[in-house]
Amino acid sequence: MEQPNFSYIDTLSGGDEAFKSKLINIIKTEFPEEKEVYFQNIAINDLQKASENVHKLKHKITILGLEESYKVASDFEKSLKENKEVGKEDFQNILKVITDFLETI
C-alpha cells in the first residue's frame, strides 16, 4: 500500500515552512474528527452521510499524496451513494495508514 507523504504539501507551500506547518496541523486536527464522524455514520448504517464523509476525507487523501488511495476512496464514495459498501475494508485500511502516519509526525 502506498504511504502518505508531503510532496503535494511541499509543492503547495513553495518552501514556506510556516505555511507547511500550518497545513499539517490543520490535517492533524481535522482528519481524526472527520474519520470519527464517518465511523459513526457507518455504525448507524447512514450510507448517504457516510458518502459525504468519504468525500471530505478524499481531500486529506489527496493532500497526503495518496493517488491510488484517492481512486479507492472515490469508488467507495460512489458505492455508498448506491447504498452499498463495496470497498469499505480497503477504504478503512487507508484511514488506518493515514492515522498511523499522522501519529508519527
pLDDT digits (tens, 9 = 90+) for 1-23: 899 999 999 999 999 999 999 99
Digit-coded pLDDT (tens) for 47-70 = 999 999 999 999 999 999 999 999
- Tell me how far CA of residue 58 lies from CA of 8, 14, 17, 45, in angstroms: 14, 23, 24, 20
Q: Is residue 2 part of a domain?
A: no
Q: Is residue 90 part of a domain?
A: yes
- Please give the tally of structural domains in the chain: 1
Q: Is residue 45 part of a domain?
A: yes
What is the domain extent for residue 91? 7-104
Gap between the Cα atoms of 100 and 64, Å rounded: 13
Q: Average of pLDDT values for 11-40?
A: 97
Q: What is the pLDDT at residue 1?
A: 80
pTM comes to 0.95
104 confidence band (pLDDT: 50, 70, 90) = very high
Q: Is residue 41 part of a domain?
A: yes
Q: What is the pLDDT at residue 2?
A: 94
Cell 511541499 maps to which residue? Answer: 10
Q: Is residue 1 part of a domain?
A: no
Q: Is residue 37 part of a domain?
A: yes
Share of the chain above pLDDT 70, in %: 100
Average confidence score pLDDT of the chain: 97
